[in-house]
Structure 1
Amino acid sequence: MTSDRTSDVAGAAAEQPEPTEESRVTTGSTAAPSSRAGRNVPVSIAVGVVLGAAVLVSLLTVRQIFVGVVAVAVAIGTIELAGALKRGADIRVTLPPVLIGGQAMVWLSWPFGRNGLLAAFVLTVLACMVWRFRGGIEGYVRDLGASVLSAAYVPLLASFAAMLVVPEDGVFRVLCFMILVVSSDTGGFIAGVLFGKHPMAKVISPKKSWEGFAGSMTAGIAAGILTMTLMLDGQWWQGALFGAALVCTATIGDLVESLIKRDLKIKDMGHLLPGHGGLMDRLDSLLPSAVVSWLLLRLFVPH
């Protein structure tokens, strides 16, 4: 679902300095040559197509399968985040309760909605508090904080994507959400590569530019209007607001993950996906966007 990938390379006009020996060690890279976008673009596109196809198949067959897709993504993303925290800062996430609690959040959100999600999250936090007793006093607050962050950042946010598919028109709600995030990524990528000159957040993500953000906003608003009016019988202005909101949340999601990686001094969250890094490097823009999608679609198109 979405490396410093296409949306994270949305302002790829900014020149990158030659990597230092320290950065080569930190990233573990003997990376293949990449394009101006900072990644092997053909491989990145191929991986994105495969992931998108998996989501489409789940939606167009038995929509409950999509919840299973979300659950698998949550498990992999949680493991990657815990591994990154361990590698980068020697922080120990209480992985068993976070993994089990994460699955409970996703699966309970289908029949019980927000109540099931909230109950599972609270119980996960309590379980993390107790589980960490095993590690003793030193680092308790640090590790517990990271565990709660992991539970909130990945399964809690992802569960809103699962809740999107619950209504009768849930397939269209999920498609609107996915199409908008992909449109934001693609518009930002193209505009950034062609026109990017002014960095948006140079310290956090040097390749992001304001020109790329403008491309994301243009594509996102257009996609929002089209999907809202054609798929959900909403108003055009609702689609425009929906698109603009998701462009902002997708961009924030990219920047947040980039900031985490820079703080931990790592390049990618994992190495599962060729050309992308880890699955978390694909989920970064989707996670916060899922929450806003659920909220706005519930407001604009009640079910």
Structure 2
Amino acid sequence: MTEVKDHGRAGRDLKAAVASAVVLLGAAGATLFFWKTAFVALVVVVLVVAIWELRRGLLAKEIDLPEQPLMIGGAVMIVVAYFWGAPALVTATAVTALVIMLWLLHRGIDGYVRTATAAVFSLIYVPFLGSFVTLMLAEGGTWRETGIDDGVKGIITFVLVTVASDVGGYVAGVLFGRHPMAPVISPKKSWEGFAGSLLAGIAAGIALVVWLLDGDWWVGVALGVIGVCMAVLGDLVESVIKRDLGIKDMSQVIPGHGGIMDRLDSLLATIAPIWLLLHYTVFSA
């Protein structure tokens, strides 16, 4: 029998989690600073793994996602968002949704609505939201391959605010967590942890917007509040999905973290509103 390790109130192997985070952030940073197109390719790879995980999880409810159109269409969405912007992303999303519904026709009538609904949900949840990462990257110019431009700075800001929220919530939750925020959905998440996330997120937002993006301090406050609230929402939504499917982690591809989707939950939820805020208050100002 395999021994189940107790990782304390945090619920995970901290050493493995930190090591994995360093490797992932290092890979993302290397592509961002040296070849932006490689970062787009990295986002596509992450998307493919995330869809594979979602299909694997939904099979627990006998829902078989159509992987091929989701992966191919999702990759197209990410690429067109980078090179041609938001209108192309909307068009590619609509076309992919239609292709998915047509693709499922060959499976017959039984379960069509359930599978098509799950597939379109997955399309919006992963590739559509994930495409806002490449929209952010394109703020620096889609053909500028190297250098710390606005797009790269935006990605750094988005990631670090989300990480600050996660770390602040983790530390405050472990040290002071007493009052559960959503005991049925996520028993380890506490209001004290949320307060820690909010403080860390706002501090990181102000610092990054003022010093890195040369923006106004109030934008940093708004960024921190939006980022933290959406990150918590994303985490709760992912917890609900996993509880409904009866699984603890989407997979075990990342030591100490579980699956790609277990790490993307907060990032997917925060990227769209953060891009919208920065696009109109900093990049277009």
Query: Normalising by structure 2, what TM-score?
Result: 0.94
Amino acid at match of 2:51: T
Q: Is the 8 A contact 1:224 1:239 kept in 2?
A: yes
Q: Is the 8 A contact 1:196 1:209 kept in 2?
A: yes
Cα deviation for residue 33 of structure 1 reads: 3.0
Q: Is the 8 A contact 1:37 1:193 kept in 2?
A: yes
Deviations 1:77-120 (A, max 9, x none): 0110111001x201011111111100010001011111111111
Match of 2:129 among 157, 172, 182: 157
Q: Is the 8 A contact 1:181 1:220 kept in 2?
A: yes
Match of 1:255 among 232, 236, 239: 236
Deviations 1:217-236 (A, max 9, x none): 00000000000001111011
Identify the residue that residue 38 of structure 1 maps to in structure 2: 11
Cα deviation for residue 150 of structure 1 reads: 0.8
2:150 is the alignment partner of 1:177: no
Amino acid at match of 2:170: F
Match of 2:100 among 120, 124, 128: 128
Whole-Å separation in 2 of the counterparts to 1:81 and 1:165: 26
Partner of 1:221, secondary structure, is: helix
The equivalences for 1:213-232 within 5 A come to 213-232=194-213
Query: Normalising by structure 1, what TM-score?
Result: 0.89
Whole-Å separation in 1 of the counterparts to 2:37 and 2:210: 25
The equivalences for 1:9-24 within 5 A come to none
Q: Is the 8 A contact 1:35 1:41 kept in 2?
A: no
Deviations 1:153-178 (A, max 9, x none): 00000000111111221110000000
Cα deviation for residue 302 of structure 1 reads: 2.7
2:64 is the alignment partner of 1:95: no
Cα deviation for residue 30 of structure 1 reads: 5.3
Q: Give the share of equivalent positions with the same residue, in percent.
A: 47
Whole-Å separation in 1 of the counterparts to 2:3 and 2:30: 35
Task: Please give the root-mean-square deviation of Cα atoms over the aligned residues, in Å.
Answer: 1.3
Identify the residue that residue 265 of structure 1 maps to in structure 2: 246
Cα deviation for residue 35 of structure 1 reads: 2.7
2:45 is the alignment partner of 1:72: yes
Amino acid at match of 1:133: L
Count of matched residue pairs: 275
Larger relative contact order, structure 1 or 2 (CA cutoff 8 Å, min sep 6): 1
Q: Is the 8 A contact 2:70 2:123 kept in 1?
A: yes
Identify the residue that residue 239 of structure 1 maps to in structure 2: 220
Partner of 1:167, secondary structure, is: helix
Whole-Å separation in 1 of the counterparts to 2:261 and 2:4: 19
Identify the residue that residue 116 of structure 1 maps to in structure 2: 88
Whole-Å separation in 1 of the counterparts to 2:118 and 2:86: 23
Which consecutive residues of structure 1, in runs of 5 or more, have no partner in the other structure?
Answer: 1-28
2:60 is the alignment partner of 1:60: no
Deviating runs (4+, > 2 A) in structure 1? 29-33
Amino acid at match of 2:274: S
Whole-Å separation in 1 of the counterparts to 2:27 and 2:4: 27
Q: Is the 8 A contact 1:268 1:278 kept in 2?
A: yes
Whole-Å separation in 1 of the counterparts to 2:240 and 2:14: 23
2:252 is the alignment partner of 1:279: no
Whole-Å separation in 2 of the counterparts to 1:226 and 1:63: 24
Amino acid at match of 1:48: A
Identify the residue that residue 145 of structure 2 maps to in structure 1: none
Partner of 1:200, secondary structure, is: strand
Amino acid at match of 1:137: I
Whole-Å separation in 1 of the counterparts to 2:222 and 2:264: 22
Q: Is the 8 A contact 2:139 2:283 kept in 1?
A: no
Amino acid at match of 1:49: V
Whole-Å separation in 1 of the counterparts to 2:237 and 2:3: 26
